[in-house]
Amino acid sequence: MKILPGPIIFDLDGTLLDTAPDLATALNNLLLEEDFEPLPLSAVRSMVGQGAVQMIKKGFTESGKFPSKEELHGKLRKRFLHHYENCYLNETRPFPSVVTTLEKLKEAGHPMAVCTNKSYEMSVPILDGLNLLSYFHGVIGGNSLPTAKPDAAPLEAAIGLTDGSATSAIMVGDSITDVKAARSAGIPVIAVSFGYTDISPIDLGADAVIDHFNELIPAIKRLSLKRKEKSESSF
């Protein structure tokens, strides 16, 4: 049985892109407006990955304030997004070797999509501004569906954008949210160790962990071969 190139679905923040510096700028501007001290980048990094509302909640909780649900989903989110829209490409960059790896995956015939908890309206301009959008068949954002990761539905929708199948798809992410989404969708998951998780990467329960993007393609090949061997042994 020949191994055909299956869909590769990527998380965004902490996986493809180092977005933490610009997110920290937006969050700290919001905190300063509320008369709180800015948080160090190291603290903000572990708050990224579950969408803007959760990051704002964690940021304010760290500062000793506990906003209501109405505040979080209303004025605080609106003001945070205003700040972020003014800085989202200031320092955000792809992690090392992301572009060359995406190019190689594209040349190998792997259809790719992005599945993130960042809003669709913010994800697309960032990818476009960094000249990465053309590598992907599409983007599923945190507000694209009624549910977000770790629910399986966004990941399944992202696979659908590639016209591929979950039976050959692989997820690449940096957090427990990504791992849980992949498990719910029944697909293997590769975790990057350089992302924003507050859990040790080796404890996330991923099928493989990589320390650099130049390790991704070998990891994909190993997981694809393992899946092929398992499929053949079931006959």
Query: Which residues are catalytically annotated?
Result: 11
Q: Is the dihedral of CA 164, 15, 30, 35 positive or negative?
A: positive
- Listed residue (166, 167, 171) closest to 156, CA to CA: 166
Under 8 Å between Cβ of 111 and 164: yes
Q: Which SS3 state, helix, strand or coil, does residue 24 take?
A: helix
Residues 6+ apart with CB under 8 A from 70: none
Note if the bond before 150 is cis, omega within 30 degrees. yes
CA 203 – CA 115 distance, rounded (Å): 22
From residue 123, alpha-carbon distances to 16, 84, 204 in Å are: 12, 12, 25
CA 98 – CA 103 distance, rounded (Å): 9
Under 8 Å between Cβ of 189 and 207: yes
CA angle, 133 then 55 then 173, to 5°: 45
